Amino acid sequence: MSYTEVPGVRVPIRMWTDPATVEGQAMQQLRNISTLPWLHGLAVMPDVHLGKGATVGSVIAMKGAVCPAAVGVDIGCGMTAVKSSLTAKDLPDDLSHLRHRIEQAIPVGRGLHTDPVEPGRLHGLSTAGWDDFWRRFDDIAPDVRWRRERAAQQMATLGGGNHFIELCLDDDGAVWLMLHSGSRNIGKELAEHHMSIAQSLPHNQGLIDRDLAVFIADTPQMAAYRSDLFWAQEYAKHNRALMMALFQDAVRRELPKAKAVFGELISCHHNYVAEERYDGVDLLVTRKGAIRAGSGEYGIIPGSMGTGSYIVKGLGNAASFNSASHGAGRKMSRTAAKKRFTTADLAAQTAGVECRKDSGVVDEIPGAYKPIEKVIAQQRDLVEVVAHLKQVICVKG
């Protein structure tokens, strides 16, 4: 489908879904965003749903300003995937041993590494820029610098919530490795630090929603936020790269006879800010629950833990600010999902997938998410499908 334009707002809201199907609170959030005086444009992806301050599934393009809540607390959260030389025939009938080896290699939930992971010790992983990256930690917000040890130990860990590690098969039977994670606790603390500062600034006092507080260009507060923001986005990218290397190593160790070879990584943020130019104007484009889908650029759009995911290639649609959805998108809150579904429902909806099936992940049940096939169909003018993946192992925190 092409987009629908929401009338009656200062800046047009372009929606790649039927506005009538979007929850009322999320629509109000979008209307609130449209009132920001710095807003140049607002695009809404088909996986849209309620977020804190800014709506998940929104692409917010502003001139001379950026809103920390439009990035969210998991700065740089995103996806990484890689195709392997393995096929379904190389996998054992019982995948539980491989799942457990992955869980042993990569801490999940609140877990962390006892000793920080050194990239130089991982097969095929470049160490270029690694020392400089950690040197720049000393430049981040003073209130957060004391977290250095924890940040180092959390590098190459998954976290919880909707983060996951999956081993998947495409429609031709090829094995793919895929994972979803972000900047862990250090990104959260940096985000909350700067959100608090933004809300205290005089130019934000008259906003319709204080969570939409912004930083203005050419101010020390903006400079400090952008420095920390880009560092956290880099942390998230390194986090996924190290996890993927550990994941590949776990597969090689568990399946030594298969002699797995891995292709080029596909990686994309979906909670981040980028400097881009549209309509002849230099803009700060914030994607919260959206990926960049420039012409020919590869991206990853995952579904829920029992459905499937898609590798896509961007079509470069400027109306969406070269963006696409970041996943299926929730259709109910975690609290609502826990009230509605049982562990028996979870087991039924994840049949055939080696994964947790206990009460701790009921809120991640496929039934709590929108159908990924419909979400993909709604953005055919934004991306083309390169591969359809179905998970056979799913690791969650």
Catalogue the active-site residues: 326
> In Å, how far are 24, 32, 55, 204, 224 from 212, measured between CA atoms?
18, 8, 11, 8, 18
Specify the 3-state DSSP secondary structure of 320.
Answer: helix
Note whether 27 and 18 are within 8 A (CB): no
Annotated binding residue 84: no
Pairing status of strand 164-170 against strand 174-181 = antiparallel
Q: Whole-angstrom Cα distance, residue 67 to residue 51?
A: 14
DSSP string over 168-214:
EEETTSEEEEEEEE--HHHHHHHHHHHHHHHHHSGGGTT-SSGGG--
180 is in an annotated binding site: yes
317 assigned ligand-binding residue: no
Separation of alpha carbons 123 and 312, rounded Å: 27
185 is known to lie in a ligand binding site? no
Is 123 marked within a binding site? no
DSSP for 89-155 reads GGS-S--HHHHHHHHHHS--TT---SSPPPGGGSTT---TTHHHHHHGGGGS-TTTGGGHHHHHHHT
Structure tokens at 50: 């309620």
397 is in an annotated binding site: no
> Does the annotation flag 331 for ligand binding?
no
329 is in an annotated binding site: yes
Residues with Cβ within 8 Å of 268's Cβ and at least 6 positions away in sequence, in order, are 78, 79, 291, 292, 298, 299, 300
Q: Is 89 flagged in the annotation as binding?
A: no
Beta bridge partners of 175: 169
Ligand-binding annotation for 341, yes or no, is no
Cβ(364)–Cβ(160) under 8 Å? no
User: Is 61 annotated to bind ligand?
Assistant: no
321 is in an annotated binding site: no
- Has 326 been labeled as part of a binding site? yes
Q: 159-163, long-range: CB within 8 Å, 24+ apart, which pairs?
A: 159/108, 159/109, 159/184, 159/397, 160/108, 160/109, 160/110, 160/396, 160/397, 161/364, 161/397, 162/327, 162/364, 163/396, 163/397
CA angle 175, 178, 183 (to 5 degrees): 165
Query: Is 239 labelled a binding residue?
Result: no
Residue 191, annotated ligand binder?
no
Angle at 278 between CA 276 and CA 279, to 5 degrees: 155
Annotated binding site for Mn(2+): 74, 163, 180, 270
Pick out the residues of the known binding site for GMP: 162-166, 270-271, 302-305, 309, 326-329, 396
Residue positions forming the annotated binding site: 74, 162-166, 180, 270-271, 302-305, 309, 326-329, 396
